[in-house]
Structure 1
Amino acid sequence: MTGTTREIALLTNPTSGKGKGARARDAATARLRDAGVQVRNLEGRDADEALDLARQVVAEGVETLVIAGGDGMVHLGVQAVADTDTRLGIIPAGTGNDVARYFDLPRKDPVAAAERLLSGRTRTIDLARSGTKYYVTVLAAGFDAIVNERANRMTWPRGQMRYNIATLAELRVFEPIPYTLDLDGESRRLEAMLVAVGNGPSFGGGLRITEGAVLDDGMLDVVIIKPMSKPGLIRTYPKLFKGTHTTHPQYEHHRVRSVTVAAPRIVSYADGERFGALPLTVECVPGALTVLH
Structure 2
Amino acid sequence: MLVDSHCHLDFPDFAEELDAVVDRARRAGVGRMVTICTYLSRFDRILAVAERYDDVLCSLGVHPHQAAEEIAGVSVERLVELSKHPKVIGLGETGLDYFYDKSPRDVQQECFRRHIRASLETGLPLIVHTRDADDDTMRIVREEAAGQPVNGLLHCFSSGRQLAEEALDFGFYISLSGIVTFKKSEDLRAIVKDVPLDRILVETDAPYLAPIPFRGKRNEPAYVAHTAACVAGVKGVDEAEMARISTENFFRLFPRAGSAEQAVA
Q: TM-score, normalised by structure 2?
A: 0.29
Task: Give the strand-richer structure, 1 or 2.
Answer: 1
Q: TM-score, normalised by structure 1?
A: 0.27
Task: Give the helix-richer structure, 1 or 2.
Answer: 2
Indicate the structure (1 or 2) with the bigger Cα radius of gyration.
Answer: 1
